[in-house]
């Protein structure tokens, strides 16, 4: 049948469904580690070498691959193991940045929010927030601010801000403290699954020809005539070292950027000041019955002048976060007792039933790569949260800062800077604005909200492929089947129990005790699929950390 005939006779909706089905009928790429390592060993030179597989690096790899560049991305651990799996899971303009008067940052993020919700509708969706008021002036005061937020979003808005009576606020937030409640303000933002979005980016970039490898740290830069011309890597699993030359090397290593910058400077006989100040943010997860319903709660001003969120996510409730300067960068940062006390204490002021330490199902910390303030500036809430791109005299491009919501715009910006600096030749226009990520279908709205318990719906148009694998009916944990584990290893780069239970499934982040209890079964299947040690013991140690509530 001719395409023209189809277009004339089918309704727009049917046509979109057809495209979606065609998308889904392309089998997912295999990500078997030995095949990837063989391909890596054969690479001599590429256009773009990206170091770091978080939101920033993965977004860049996809943008560059779509423009026809040859791309290799190397990640030291697993994709999104760093900050990019530890966000509050909001796709947002940033209400508090608006309060700080950072209008351009908020406007850009609001427009990116819209694109993300369109391009990955199976992993990101709109979410209504309510700010409860306990003082008469709060509803009109915050209402005006949030109307401005709507105005900045313009056509990219997700819904109108509404001023609520006390009764309406309570209906939206059934678990909130009713005593003294005067009203509230309801506004719209988005939420997403950060680690699964990272994987969708990695897999989409791979579909476009990029080669992406996890567990492959860059261990050194290669310089020639004072210029960075490539990197040296160590690939675990095969235990091999190798070298790749690149026209352009981008350091997208988040809070770790200063380590590569230092190597670059040392090799070039310069001394560099550190660029990043890490700031720790902690989240605490409790059961949904502390705040039933489908609205998130925003506390506009905590004791330390921050905002606090209570966000329904994948069947649980996330409370957070904090902003604590750190002088040490740890792969698995540990929540501090003071941070947990702060979160539970602030939540107790607003929830009818105060969450106690024994109610905590999981807790985790992430490090914000904040671009360093001038000496002695102190307070991290005032540090620049926009992204920063620096090109060293030897041509090493470093990008850091920003937020998950704006990863796509950051990538576009990096490529423009690389072109302006002559590191890359003139490129075709950026194609990521409307590019559907793996698993997304055109015109698709999320049928099941991200607030609901996880399940096959999180795979979007790829659900059918998962269901074809052995063990589709064998449930390992609620919403996690044996087939999903096999899919994680075969198509989503998973190598270990942690990869599966922390970032393909999010069980470790939702309920660490349950994650530990199913880990041996998961290890058995991962071992069957890979033939390698699935690192069960180290996962059990990690799960104990996510369960331990410092108090
Ligand atoms: C507590 C908290 C809450 C947040 N909430 C939100 C939110 O709700 N919404 C939002 O939009 N943003 C949020 N953010 C911000 C967002 O998460 C970050 O801006 C983003 O994840 C940073 O991504 P990245 O790729 O720059 O860094 P990372 O995700 O840390 O990625 C860097 C990667 O580089 C790798 N790496 C390091 N050294 C090497 C090497 N030598 N070789 C190879 N790889 C290497 C690391 O292993 C890591 O995976 C939050 C951040 C925090 C900390």
Mean pLDDT computed over 494-498? 98
Q: Tokens in use for 163?
A: 């001023």
Nearest to 317 by CA among 362, 280, 282, 358: 362
Nearest to 494 by CA among 258, 165, 214, 237: 214
Q: How far is CA 541 from the centre of its chain?
A: 24
Mean pLDDT computed over 416-430? 97
Where residue 545 falls (left for φ over 0; alpha for ψ -120 to 50; beta otherwise) is alpha
Given pLDDT bands bounded at 50, 70 and 90, which one contains residue 306? Answer: confident
Token pair 């056509």: residue: 155
Closest ligand 1 atom number to CA of residue 401: 19
Q: Tokens in use for 391?
A: 């090109």
Has residue 493 got a pLDDT over 90?
A: yes
- pTM score above 0.85: yes
Closest ligand 1 atom number to CA of residue 399: 26
Ligand 1 centroid from CA 314, angstroms: 21
Which of 62, 84, 192, 339 gets mutated to test ligand 1 (max ligand atoms within 8 A of its CB)? 84
| Helix H or strand E encompassing 337 | helix 337-350
The CA distance from 496 to 535, in Å, is 6
Has residue 325 got a pLDDT over 60?
A: yes
* Tally of CB atoms within 10 A around 387: 20
Tell me what the pLDDT averaged over the chain comes to: 92
Which of 52, 111, 219, 396 gets mutated to test ligand 1 (max ligand atoms within 8 A of its CB)? 52
| Residue identifier of the C-alpha nearest atom 25 of ligand 1 | 54
Under a CB-based contact definition with an 8 Å cutoff, are residues 16 and 441 in contact? yes
The pLDDT of residue 23: 47
Has residue 19 got a pLDDT over 90?
A: no
Beta bridge partners of 162: 186
Mean pLDDT computed over 33-50? 96
The CA distance from 142 to 149, in Å, is 10
The CA distance from 331 to 315, in Å, is 27
| Helix H or strand E encompassing 106 | helix 103-119
Given pLDDT bands bounded at 50, 70 and 90, which one contains residue 443? Answer: low
**324 CB less than 6 Å from ligand 1?**
no
487: CB partners within 8 A, 6+ apart: 28, 459, 465, 466, 469
Beta bridge partners of 308: 299
Which of 58, 82, 90, 325 gets mutated to test ligand 1 (max ligand atoms within 8 A of its CB)? 82
For the stretch 334-346, pLDDT in tens is: 999 999 999 999 9
What are the Cα distances from residue 49, in Å, to 92, 316, 390?
29, 38, 16
**53 CB less than 6 Å from ligand 1?**
yes
Given pLDDT bands bounded at 50, 70 and 90, which one contains residue 104? Answer: confident
The CA distance from 526 to 495, in Å, is 7
The CA distance from 521 to 132, in Å, is 44
The pLDDT of residue 99: 77
**263 CB less than 6 Å from ligand 1?**
no
Q: Tokens in use for 529?
A: 């699929």
Closest ligand 1 atom number to CA of residue 322: 1
For the stretch 465-485, pLDDT in tens is: 999 999 999 999 999 999 999
Ligand 1 centroid from CA 551, angstroms: 27
For the stretch 245-281, pLDDT in tens is: 999 999 999 999 999 999 999 998 988 789 999 999 9
Token pair 């070498």: residue: 49
Phi and psi at residue 288, to the nearest 5°: -65, -25
Helical H segments across 351-499, by residue range? 407-420, 463-467, 482-491, 497-498
**403 CB less than 6 Å from ligand 1?**
yes
The CA distance from 207 to 439, in Å, is 12
Token pair 């989409």: residue: 204
Has residue 381 got a pLDDT over 50?
A: no
Percent of the chain with pLDDT over 90: 84
Mean pLDDT computed over 41-69? 98
Mean pLDDT computed over 125-136? 96
**321 CB less than 6 Å from ligand 1?**
yes
* Burial (0-12, 13-18, 19+ Cβ within 10 Å), 19: middle
Lowest-confidence segment of 14-23, 171-180, 506-515 by average pLDDT: 14-23
Secondary structure class of 151 (helix, strand, coil) = helix
Under a CB-based contact definition with an 8 Å cutoff, are residues 284 and 399 in contact? no
The pLDDT of residue 268: 87
Token pair 């750190």: residue: 326
Which of 50, 256, 388 gets mutated to test ligand 1 (max ligand atoms within 8 A of its CB)? 256
For the stretch 386-403, pLDDT in tens is: 899 999 999 999 999 999
Secondary structure class of 319 (helix, strand, coil) = strand
Q: What is the DSSP letter of 500?
A: I
Ligand 1 centroid from CA 214, angstroms: 15
The pLDDT of residue 263: 96
The CA distance from 118 to 443, in Å, is 8
The CA distance from 549 to 357, in Å, is 6
Beta bridge partners of 278: 369
**281 CB less than 6 Å from ligand 1?**
yes
**183 CB less than 6 Å from ligand 1?**
no
Closest ligand 1 atom number to CA of residue 402: 19
Token pair 């277009």: residue: 7
Ligand 1 centroid from CA 253, angstroms: 8
**SS3 string of 516-547?**
HHHHHHHHHHHHHHHCCCCCHHHHHHHHHHHH
**380 CB less than 6 Å from ligand 1?**
no
**549 CB less than 6 Å from ligand 1?**
no
| Helix H or strand E encompassing 133 | strand 124-133
**3-state class percentages of the chain: helix first, strand second, coil last, to nearest 5:** 40, 20, 35
| Residue identifier of the C-alpha nearest atom 6 of ligand 1 | 87
| Helix H or strand E encompassing 170 | helix 166-172
| Residue identifier of the C-alpha nearest atom 10 of ligand 1 | 404
Under a CB-based contact definition with an 8 Å cutoff, are residues 127 and 191 in contact? yes
């Amino acid at each position: 049948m001719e395409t023209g005939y189809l277009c004339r006779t089918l309704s727009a909706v049917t046509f979109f469904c057809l495209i979606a089905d065609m998308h889904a009928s392309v089998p997912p790429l295999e990500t078997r580690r030995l095949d990837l390592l063989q391909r890596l060993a054969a690479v001599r030179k590429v256009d773009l070498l990206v170091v770091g597989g978080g939101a920033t690096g993965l977004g860049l790899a996809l943008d560059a691959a779509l423009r026809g560049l040859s791309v290799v991305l190397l990640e030291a651990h697993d994709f999104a193991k760093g900050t990019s799996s530890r966000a509050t899971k909001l796709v947002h303009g940033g209400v508090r940045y608006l309060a700080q008067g950072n209008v351009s940052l908020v406007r850009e993020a609001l427009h990116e929010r819209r694109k993300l919700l369109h391009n990955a509708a199976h992993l990101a969706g709109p979410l209504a927030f309510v700010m409860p008021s306990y003082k008469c002036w709060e509803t009109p005061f915050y209402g005006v601010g949030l109307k401005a937020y709507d105005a900045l979003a313009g056509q990219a808005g997700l819904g109108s801000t509404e001023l609520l009576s006390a009764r309406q606020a309570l209906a939206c937030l059934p678990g909130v403290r009713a005593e003294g409640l005067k009203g509230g303000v309801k506004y719209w933002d988005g939420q997403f699954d950060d680690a699964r979005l990272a994987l969708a980016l990695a897999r989409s970039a791979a579909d476009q020809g990029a080669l992406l490898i996890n567990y492959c740290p860059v261990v050194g830069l290669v310089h020639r005539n004072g210029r960075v011309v490539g990197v040296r890597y160590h690939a675990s699993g095969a235990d091999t070292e190798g070298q790749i030359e690149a026209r352009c090397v981008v350091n997208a290593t988040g809070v770790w950027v200063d380590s590569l910058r230092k190597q670059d400077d040392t090799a070039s006989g310069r001394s560099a000041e550190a660029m990043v100040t890490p700031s720790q943010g902690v989240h605490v997860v409790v059961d949904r019955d502390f705040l039933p319903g489908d609205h998130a709660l925003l506390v506009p001003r905590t004791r330390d002048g921050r905002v606090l969120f209570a966000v329904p996510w994948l069947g649980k409730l996330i409370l957070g976060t904090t902003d604590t300067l750190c002088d040490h960068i740890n792969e698995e940062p540990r929540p501090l007792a003071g941070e947990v006390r702060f979160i539970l204490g602030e939540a107790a002021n607003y929830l009818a039933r105060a969450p106690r330490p024994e109610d905590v199902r999981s807790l985790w910390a992430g490090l914000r790569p904040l671009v360093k303030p001038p000496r002695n500036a102190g307070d991290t809430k005032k540090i620049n949260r926009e992204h920063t791109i620096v090109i060293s005299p030897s041509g090493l491009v470093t990008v850091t800062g920003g937020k998950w919501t704006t990863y796509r715009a950051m990538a576009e910006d990096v490529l423009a800077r690389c072109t302006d600096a002559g590191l890359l030749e003139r490129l075709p226009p950026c194609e990521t604005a409307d590019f559907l990520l793996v698993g997304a279908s055109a015109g698709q709205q999320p049928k099941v909200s991200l607030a609901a318990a996880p399940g096959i719906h999180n795979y979007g148009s790829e659900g059918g492929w998962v269901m074809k694998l052995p063990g589709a009916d064998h449930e390992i944990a609620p919403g996690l089947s044996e087939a999903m584990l096999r899919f994680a290893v075969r198509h989503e780069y998973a190598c270990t129990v942690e990869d599966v239970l922390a970032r393909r499934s999010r069980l470790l982040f939702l309920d660490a005790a349950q994650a530990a209890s199913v880990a041996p079964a998961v290890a058995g299947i991962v071992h069957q699929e890979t033939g390698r040690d699935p690192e069960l013991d180290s996962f059990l140690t990690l799960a104990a950390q996510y369960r331990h509530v410092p108090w």
